[in-house]
């Protein structure tokens, strides 16, 4: 479909899911979230798909939530409600999932990266937990991000919202490999080929085993973090931050 914002292609045992909304930096709009979840379900259900690669078109991997849709929305309708299902689907998928980043990830986009089993980034890709700078909390993504990051780095980067590069992301555990842009596809291919060597049932069981260290509290965590995220998206600071973003000015607390 030409109007799709997310595409699925399965070839040689690899299901590639591509975010294709470059006009808004692959932001997590309602349409993109809906299509991403549907394609994840299709790829997971496809026995021919031994590995899933989450990729993108354009210069940006994913800019996070679509703030244009979130502005003015109430606590139950600002774009966060389907996101836990997407993150949990990636995290709990029996099929290994590899993130391929040729460009930046922000906020919810970093949550997607963290949910994947393996993440490969071009050296010039950048990352930021920018939520606090627009008056919201990186609540939902914390469920997938915090198990990946060194604690000191998590405190620093969640609280400051500062941008960091792919080399730092590799050092703190957010990505597995940071390589020159020209080598990105070869590095992703190296991982997918290695993963395809594993038996599907063994890979699924191994993923389940690895998840046991984060016990059965994920649903409860998501519910709690979703309420916190919703409250801030709809709150005074969140709405002011999103207005300031749209108007290309500093929010009131940063003047």
What domains sit in the chain, N to C, each tagged with a CATH number?
Answer: 6-182 (3.90.226.10)
Closest CA to 11 of 49, 44, 47, 40: 49
pLDDT, residue 225, reads: 87
Q: What is the mean pLDDT of residues 123-144?
A: 96
Distance between CA atoms of 173 and 153, rounded to whole angstroms? 10
pLDDT above 60 for 77: no
64: nearest Cα among 102, 95, 123, 109: 109
Count Cβ neighbours within 10 Å for each residue of 208-226 and write b for 16 or more, e otherwise.
eeeeeeeeeebeebbeebb
Burial class (CB in 10 A: 0-12, 13-18, 19+), 64: buried
Residue 8 has pLDDT above 90, yes or no: yes
Phi (first) and psi of residue 193, to 5 degrees: -65, -40
Paired tokens of 61: 């991997």
106-138: string of b/e by CB count within 10 Å (b at 16+)?
bbbbbbbbbbbbbbbbbeebbbbbbbbbbbbbb
According to DSSP, the residues that pair with 8 across neighbouring strands are 17
| 57, containing H or E segment | none
pLDDT at residue 73 above 70?
no
Spatial separation of the C-alpha atoms in residues 24 and 252, rounded to whole Å: 25
pLDDT for res 75 = 54
The pLDDT value recorded for residue 209 is: 87
Instruction: Determine the pLDDT at residue 213.
Output: 58
What is the pTM (predicted TM-score) of this model?
Answer: 0.90
Q: How confident is the model at residue 181 (pLDDT cuts 50, 70, 90)?
A: very high
Instruction: From 56, 46, 41, 78, select the one nearest 5 (Cα to Cα).
Output: 56
Which tokens sit at 157? 């980067």
| pLDDT band at residue 220 using 50, 70 and 90 as cut-offs | confident
Decide: 99 and 178 in contact? Cβ < 8 Å.
no
């Amino acid at each position: 479909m030409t109007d799709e914002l997310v595409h699925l292609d399965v070839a040689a045992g690899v299901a590639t899911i591509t975010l294709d909304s470059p006009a808004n930096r692959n932001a997590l709009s309602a349409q993109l979230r809906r299509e991403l979840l549907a394609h994840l379900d299709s790829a997971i259900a496809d026995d021919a798909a031994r590995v899933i690669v989450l990729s993108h078109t354009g210069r940006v991997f994913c800019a996070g939530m679509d703030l244009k849709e979130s502005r003015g929305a109430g606590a139950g309708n600002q774009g966060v409600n389907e996101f836990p299902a997407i993150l949990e689907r990636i995290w709990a998928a029996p099929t290994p999932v590899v993130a391929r980043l040729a460009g930046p990830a922000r906020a919810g986009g970093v949550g997607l990266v963290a949910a994947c089993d393996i993440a490969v980034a071009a050296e010039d890709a950048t990352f930021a937990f920018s939520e606090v700078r627009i008056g919201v909390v990186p609540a939902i993504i914390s469920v997938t991000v915090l198990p990946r990051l060194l604690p000191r780095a998590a405190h620093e980067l969640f609280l400051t919202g500062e941008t960091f590069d792919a080399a730092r992301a590799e050092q703190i555990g957010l990505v597995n490999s940071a390589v020159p842009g020209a080598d990105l596809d070869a590095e992703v291919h190296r991982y997918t080929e290695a993963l395809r060597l594993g038996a599907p049932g063994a890979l699924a069981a191994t993923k389940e085993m690895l998840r046991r260290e984060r016990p059965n509290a994920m649903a409860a965590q998501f519910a709690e973090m979703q309420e916190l995220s919703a409250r801030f998206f709809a709150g005074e600071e969140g709405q002011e931050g999103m207005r300031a973003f749209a108007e290309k000015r500093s929010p009131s607390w940063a003047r």
